[in-house]
Amino acid sequence: MSFKKTLFSIALIFCTVGAASAQELHVAAAADLNFALPEIAKAFEAQTGTKVLISFGSSGNFFAQIQSGAPFDVFCSADMGYPQKLAAAGQALPETLRQYASGRLVLWVPSGSKLNFERDGIKVLLDPSVKKIAIANPEHAPYGRAAVAALQKAGIYESVKAKLVYGENISQAAEFVQSGNAQAGIVALSLAVSPAMKNGNRWEIPANNYPPIKQAVVLLEASNNKAAARGFLEFVSGPQGRQILERFGFTVPTP
């Protein structure tokens, strides 16, 4: 091989390595993953070298953005419905759609609250001291719909609906009650166990009081990095991803 050809080969190798090291995935993720998914992404990057850039928000808003052509590779939804609709519309690959977890609802109040969960359960929300109750917006957040269902199941929705304040997503609902702008909140367990909220008081709402919050992930048709995206999906539902999700209060399906 000539000297020029050798230099060209070396340059090509460096370009290839550079491209691989710069590989990125863009993930749209439900806000209840605010703490769990960055850990999963960090572990995935350490194993593969692929950087995962995550945007958090409500599943419904991301659904609308993806329909309008938002450039994401992967969609981690807080429900099954939005990914299924994208797959049916040809905007996601149906064979990649899978449930990765089920979310859980808790009633959360600051540590100084006098509300008695053990005695009253969810009916503590009827207490006159509770002026505002934070939940995610049920119009586009699955956790918001689940919260409304839990209040209806308990027979108190009509009594408390005037107290409800809506976060754009479940993370913002948690911020409302953390900041004192609401006296109580119905939030995701995955947020309630985070460092920012673990010192509060929480009561887990029985799972049979609201529809299952089955959460799905799917690879988007518009992705320009499908091989890496498939690897990320496998990682999320693999042993390391499952272990992290369980640590943050998610229930993971049997492999």
Residues in the chain: 255
Mean pLDDT of 16-34: 76
- On whether the CB atoms of residues 180 and 240 are closer than 8 A, the answer is no
> Looking at residue 22, what is its pLDDT?
53
Statement: residue 26 has pLDDT above 70: yes
Model confidence over 53-65: pLDDT tens digits?
A: 999 999 999 999 9
Residue 21: in which H helix or E strand, if any? helix 3-21
Amino acid type, 129: S
> Looking at residue 220, what is its pLDDT?
98
Mean pLDDT of 192-200: 91
> Looking at residue 14, what is its pLDDT?
35
**In 102-169, which residue ranges form alpha helices assigned H by DSSP?**
117-120, 142-153, 157-160
Statement: residue 233 has pLDDT above 80: yes
The C-alpha atoms of residue 24 and residue 50 are separated, in whole angstroms, by 6
The C-alpha atoms of residue 21 and residue 171 are separated, in whole angstroms, by 32
Query: Which among 92, 89, 56 has a CA at the least distance from the CA of 74?
Result: 92
Query: Which among 47, 50, 90, 97 has a CA at the least distance from the CA of 74?
Result: 97
The C-alpha atoms of residue 244 and residue 56 are separated, in whole angstroms, by 18
Beta pairing, strands 201-204 & 24-30? unpaired
Q: Does domain 12-102+213-247 have CATH number 3.40.190.10?
A: yes
Statement: residue 198 has pLDDT above 80: yes
Strands (E), the chain: 24-30, 51-57, 74-76, 98-103, 105-109, 133-136, 164-167, 184-188, 201-204, 213-219
Q: Is the pTM of this model over 0.75?
A: yes
> Looking at residue 11, what is its pLDDT?
38
Beta pairing, strands 184-188 & 133-136? parallel
Domain with CATH 3.40.190.10 in the chain: 12-102+213-247, 105-204
The C-alpha atoms of residue 251 and residue 214 are separated, in whole angstroms, by 9
Q: Does domain 105-204 have CATH number 3.40.190.10?
A: yes
